[in-house]
A and B are shown apart, each in its own frame.
Chain A
Amino acid sequence: MRHLVPICLCLALAACGGDFSNDDLEFLNAFPRREDLTASMPGKTQGEAWGARVASKSAQQAGRLGDSSGIVGDTDKTGLRFNEAVDGILSSLEAIQQYTPTKREPNRRVWGPIPGRNDMRFDTRFVMTREGERFDYQLQYRDIGEGEDAWWSFMSGSFQANGGVRKGEGSLIMDLKRAREERFLDIPFLDREEIHYQTRKLPTRVELVFVSNVPTLLPSRYIYREAEGDLAEMTFQILDTDFVQGGLREDVALTTRWAPDGRGTGILEIIKGDILGAKYTECWDAQGRVTFISRSWDFLNPTEGLRSSCPDMSALDR
């Protein structure tokens, strides 16, 4: 009986507390949403049959009226790679969101540290700080048992919460070079992988940047934008393709725009190769068939088809 009172007190204290926190919600709001950063591709919206048909084509050369557009296929493939890259970055962030913070301080939250066990050689923690509407966060690692000064940031991010529910401007940067130096990951050639996004107002913008120590190895920049009416745009490069006949192979910059019904336009600019600066424009209908072609280098027959068949994509020009 003499232990009853302290036991009851302990039980009562254990029943107190919780995670009812406005600040936690605001910190969570600083995480980017997957649906805001991933690209919605033209093939994805048009169903399997249409998607399979266009996926087999490629913008290896200028198209012909009535044929399936090769630009659509290139855009789908690029969008897939884009989404895979975004997915890789977001996965670790989304895992953290499942847990309540380990430490709450004014304008600061810490998850972890999670001690490294078994084959993991690193302790892990996630730190978020806030200053007004701006949130910064880092996914950090250190060798097991090291001190506070040993933490290094594998992923850094920031978010300016000025657009409502998880809307605003932010960035995510994975420091692959440091990860290589710390023997955490060994990804050759790439030093950084970056996402910069703006979801505060339409058109939204997501930019995926690869910083490589071999600059010519890969296209370094992908930009995805969305405007009113679910109009979408993807800007990227295709390197070392034989777009026009000649002695050189071309690098092309491609801007693809598409509407929810499948219609779209593609503008291709040759940035390296036989006809440097030449521009090729193509429009396609809801079935993915080319309805209009414009070639800047063809003085005799610069256009084919009706320009009026091209969908209105002006919402993306704002």
Chain B
Amino acid sequence: MSPPLLPSWRALAALLVLGASAAHADSLRRFALVAGNDEGGDETRPLRFAQDDARKMHGLLARLGGVAPGDAMLLLNESSKDFLAALTQLETRAKEARARGERTALLVYYSGHAKDGTLRLGNTRLGFEDLKQRLSNAPADIRIAILDSCRSGALTRTKGARRAPAFEIESGAARDARGLVILTSSSADEDSQESDALRGSYFSHHLASGLLGDADRSGDGRVTLFEAYSHAYARTVADTAASSGGAQHPTFSYDLAGNGDLVLTDLRAGGDGLVVPGLAPAGMYYFVDPGGMVVAELDKTPDVERRVALAPGTYRVKRRLSDRLRIGEVEVSRGRQVVLEESRLRDAPFSDDPVKGAAPEGGAWWTVGVSGGVQSFFDAPTRQSLFLSVGMLGAEAQLHDYFRRDWVWGVDVAVGGKQALLALPTLSGPPYKYSVTSLGTTLTSEWPRGTVAPFVGARMAYLVMRRDFEEATYPDQKYAMFSPGLVAGLRWQPLRRLHVTGRARLHYLLYTVDEQRSLGFWELGALVTYQP
């Protein structure tokens, strides 16, 4: 099957000419509605990266896309009602801006499920036709819809839109473009695919990577809409060609009056970024964040200086050769352009690939580690004379991204104990050893933010408390019970395979020996895990 749109290099060349007059684009007041929805309601499987794609795009548009923070809205797992309400807000602002004589652009990005001609925002739906109608009537000079969802190409097939390459350019025309542009991640009968290795959808990843600089074929430091689309199209098709889901073909359509391409990102906008000098070897460069995620790619051609608008931070750089890797590290400082020096890269075997390999079976990965912490009951008499406050040492294994992305299932065992003297109203003094053994299983959901990931979840523990007296006069005692609880904390990944976690647990324990009592206890602890 042929793609709905094959880039027309003739049209592209014309667009680049127009796109060069960026003054028009730069004077635009830009509004952006960015939405990501992992859930698609009935008959859909949850997506793993839709929210991440939305976050990535939102950050990119705010940093490089000329969208003021107050003019960008990010919706994560919200309903169609919220989506439309947010759109209404932006339309109102756009209308006010137009009334003041400003040129306006409204960009709508959606990553999530789509099925049967509707966007699926959780259990709610928004029809393609309704959305298109809404955008067609939106009070902005240029309306751009970027839809990263299955079968979204149906939107570009609908009446009123023309597909490139029938994109006609009036060469040399001076009129500003007005109208509606729609980019979709796949054609009308294709699924949009996600990649565990990229930790995002193919389309959004390549679109974002292109907007960071890889799509800047002209080398003018600006990435236009058509450049970004062309880049995302070519890379998405190439990456998905051999996938089990088959090749995925993004589409592009427009209904524009006037002409002129739109600059989507200005690579110099933030003042910071990375420059790959013209003398640097040609080839594919990958820029990897500390979490192992490929943030951007760059297809470097010989003797051409390229620019990648990386956000301030530390990145590992990888260039792949036929027999080895060239890897190194680069620090991008705020407001500074850093030059990548080839001399700072070193040879490395493929096994040292800084990109986290996608594990088989849906990208699951696991860790093992040791933990330490403190357990203490809330009730003072209880912790003083029944179940004492103790330090705990343990071991833990965690399975990440198995049931669902960013879900972590863990099993743990911990022991603790101390020497104590009995202190009861009519009996004090006998020495004994108090000990606790805890077996637990935990299911948490994480929200990764770079190298840190806050999480909350639920835990079920099986506790065994013992009291062993030194004197034979008193019988040794034991109590065992299941204990449900909640857990929250923060996981930090300082090194590629090392994770440090701080967490707090709250647990309920039913005590039934002397009487039925509901007890609560807390645990504070730290966990160091290794990712094999």
User: Footprint of B on A, CB under 8 Å?
Assistant: 12, 15-26, 28-30, 33, 100, 104, 106, 133, 161-162, 164-166
Residue on A with the closest CB to B510? A16
List 12 contacting pairs A-B, 8 Å CB cutoff, sorted by A: A15-B480, A16-B482, A18-B478, A19-B478, A19-B479, A20-B386, A20-B479, A21-B513, A25-B427, A106-B514, A133-B426, A165-B428
14 additional contacts, CB 8 Å, given A20-B386, A25-B474, A104-B513?
A15-B462, A16-B481, A16-B482, A18-B465, A18-B477, A19-B479, A20-B478, A21-B513, A22-B386, A28-B475, A29-B427, A104-B515, A162-B426, A164-B428
Report yes or no: A17 in contact with B474, Cβ–Cβ below 8 A.
no
Most B C-beta atoms less than 10 A away, residue of A12, A20, A164: A20
Most A C-beta atoms less than 10 A away, residue of B385, B386, B473: B473
Contact with A along B35-75 (1 / 0, CB 8 A): 00000000000000000000000000000000000000000
Interface residues of B in 507-532 (CB under 8 A from A): 512-515
* Contact with B479, one of A18, A162, A164 (Cβ below 8 angstroms): A18
- Chain B residues within 8 Å of A161, by CB: 426-427
Contact with A along B163-206 (1 / 0, CB 8 A): 00000000000000000000000000000000000000000000
Q: Given A15-B462, A16-B482, A104-B514, do A24 and B477 touch, yes or no (CB 8 Å)?
A: yes
Q: Given A104-B513, A165-B428, do A17 and B386 touch, yes or no (CB 8 Å)?
A: no
**B519 CB → nearest A CB, Å:** 12
Contact with A along B448-482 (1 / 0, CB 8 A): 00000000000000100111000001110111111
Report yes or no: A164 in contact with B429, Cβ–Cβ below 8 A.
yes
Q: SS class of chain B's interface: helix, strand, loop or mixed?
A: strand
Report yes or no: A18 in contact with B428, Cβ–Cβ below 8 A.
no
Q: Does B349 contact A (CB under 8 A)?
A: no
Q: Does B422 contact A (CB under 8 A)?
A: yes
Kindly state the separation between the CA atoms of A22 and B479 in the bound complex, as whole angstroms: 12
**A14 CB → nearest B CB, Å:** 10
Report yes or no: B430 in contact with A165, Cβ–Cβ below 8 A.
yes
Report yes or no: A106 in contact with B477, Cβ–Cβ below 8 A.
no
Q: Does B424 contact A (CB under 8 A)?
A: yes
Report yes or no: A21 in contact with B514, Cβ–Cβ below 8 A.
yes
**B366 CB → nearest A CB, Å:** 25
* Contact with B424, one of A15, A20, A26, A162 (Cβ below 8 angstroms): A26
**A66 CB → nearest B CB, Å:** 45
Residue on A with the closest CB to B426? A161
Q: Does B425 contact A (CB under 8 A)?
A: yes
- Chain A residues within 8 Å of B513, by CB: 17-21, 24, 104
- Chain A residues within 8 Å of B429, by CB: 164-165
Kindly state the separation between the CA atoms of A24 and B478 in the bound complex, as whole angstroms: 12
Report yes or no: A17 in contact with B479, Cβ–Cβ below 8 A.
yes
Residue on A with the closest CB to B429? A165
Kindly state the separation between the CA atoms of A28 and B514 in the bound complex, as whole angstroms: 14
Sorting the interface of chain B by its residue count into under 10, 10 to 19, 20 to 34 or 35 or more gives: 20 to 34
Report yes or no: A33 in contact with B473, Cβ–Cβ below 8 A.
yes
Residue on A with the closest CB to B427? A29
Kindly state the separation between the CA atoms of A189 and B290 in the bound complex, as whole angstroms: 94
Interface residues of B in 385-410 (CB under 8 A from A): 385-386
**B490 CB → nearest A CB, Å:** 32
- Chain A residues within 8 Å of B480, by CB: 15-18
Kindly state the separation between the CA atoms of A306 and B475 in the bound complex, as whole angstroms: 53
Kindly state the separation between the CA atoms of A26 and B482 in the bound complex, as whole angstroms: 27
Report yes or no: A21 in contact with B477, Cβ–Cβ below 8 A.
yes
Kindly state the separation between the CA atoms of A22 and B481 in the bound complex, as whole angstroms: 17
- Chain A residues within 8 Å of B385, by CB: 22
Kindly state the separation between the CA atoms of A24 and B476 in the bound complex, as whole angstroms: 11
Kindly state the separation between the CA atoms of A19 and B475 in the bound complex, as whole angstroms: 9
Kindly state the separation between the CA atoms of A89 and B246 in the bound complex, as whole angstroms: 90
- Chain A residues within 8 Å of B473, by CB: 28, 33, 166
Most B C-beta atoms less than 10 A away, residue of A18, A22, A29, A161: A22
Contact with A along B357-388 (1 / 0, CB 8 A): 00000000000000000000000000001100
Kindly state the separation between the CA atoms of A195 and B97 in the bound complex, as whole angstroms: 101
- Chain B residues within 8 Å of A20, by CB: 386, 465-467, 477-479, 513
**A106 CB → nearest B CB, Å:** 6
**B209 CB → nearest A CB, Å:** 48
Q: Given A16-B480, A17-B480, A164-B429, do A22 and B424 touch, yes or no (CB 8 Å)?
A: yes
Residue on A with the closest CB to B432? A25
- Chain A residues within 8 Å of B478, by CB: 18-20
Kindly state the separation between the CA atoms of A166 and B466 in the bound complex, as whole angstroms: 22
Give 9 closest A-B pairs by Cβ, nearest first.
A20-B479, A18-B479, A161-B426, A29-B427, A18-B478, A20-B477, A21-B513, A23-B514, A26-B426
Interface residues of B in 330-365 (CB under 8 A from A): none
Residue on A with the closest CB to B481? A16
- Chain A residues within 8 Å of B386, by CB: 20, 22
**A314 CB → nearest B CB, Å:** 29
**A24 CB → nearest B CB, Å:** 7
